[in-house]
A and B are shown apart, each in its own frame.
Chain A
Amino acid sequence: QQQVKQSPQSLIVQKGGISIINCAYENTAFDYFPWYQQFPGKGPALLIAIRPDVSEKKEGRFTISFNKSAKQFSLHIMDSQPGDSATYFCAASSGGGGNKLTFGTGTQLKVEL
């Protein structure tokens, strides 16, 4: 499987702060870049996704920034809350959002009071 590299592996943020997670990909055929949130013992849930024709997408407190030339994309969580504490995975696929995903290695986020 083509790699998607994700960093950092873990992240601790104070309540109200900004959480930033970065991903980089290699396969230029990728055309769909989602972010998933996973709580322990649960399946991943789609947070937000972007396609390479836009450089930024915002939904509520979550923003994806996309740099096509650098083959990088990032997730920003504004006003981070303790309830945001979870593992976050970036992913990528080609041929649209319904195709198989290649996942990043995951980032364990902890938001402290």
Chain B
Amino acid sequence: GAVVSQHPSRVICKSGTSVKIECRSLDFQATTMFWYRQFPKQSLMLMATSNEGSKATYEQGVEKDKFLINHASLTLSTLTVTSAHPEDSSFYICSASARSGANVLTFGAGSRLTVL
């Protein structure tokens, strides 16, 4: 089945630094990847839609300069949290849609970011 890998699974950083999270589709080509953010005991909120080879589309209220998304290949999308602050601490989850085949989203295991 389709597998989406996220790395790192956990990251702790100091306030003001930048952190990059990778999302890879391991056994399929992903035309589109989605980035979600989840606070403790809350739902998943869509941050942005990432299409291979083009600029990401951000949801209303999400700072594009704060959360940089790059989708340079059909198997890799990255989310960079720039100048991180404690309020950016959250669980970030990516999902990918296959280029062909079953029209289903596959989610990664998530990345827990803690900003000190």
Contact = CB atoms under 8 A, between A and B. Distances in A.
| A, B in one complex | yes
Interface of A: 1, 36, 41-46, 49, 89, 96-106, 108
Given A98-B32, A98-B97, A98-B103, A105 B110 contact: no
A45 B46 contact: no
Contact of B107 (A44, A96, A105): A44
A101 B93 contact: no
Given A100-B49, A103-B44, A45 B104 contact: no
Contacts, number: 60
Contact of B46 (A1, A46, A97): A1
B54 interface: no
Contacts of B4: 43
A102 B105 contact: no
Nearest to B59: A1
A43 B108 contact: yes
Interface hub of B95, B97, B105, B110 (most chain A Cβ within 10 A): B105
B109 interface: yes
A41 B112 contact: yes
Interface of A: prevailing SS: loop
Given A42-B109, A43-B93, A44-B93, A103 B43 contact: yes
B21 interface: no
Contact of A89 (B6, B43, B105): B43
A96 B32 CA distance: 13
A46 B59 CA distance: 23
Contacts of A44: 44, 93, 107
Interface in B40-74: 41-46, 49, 59
Nearest to A104: B43
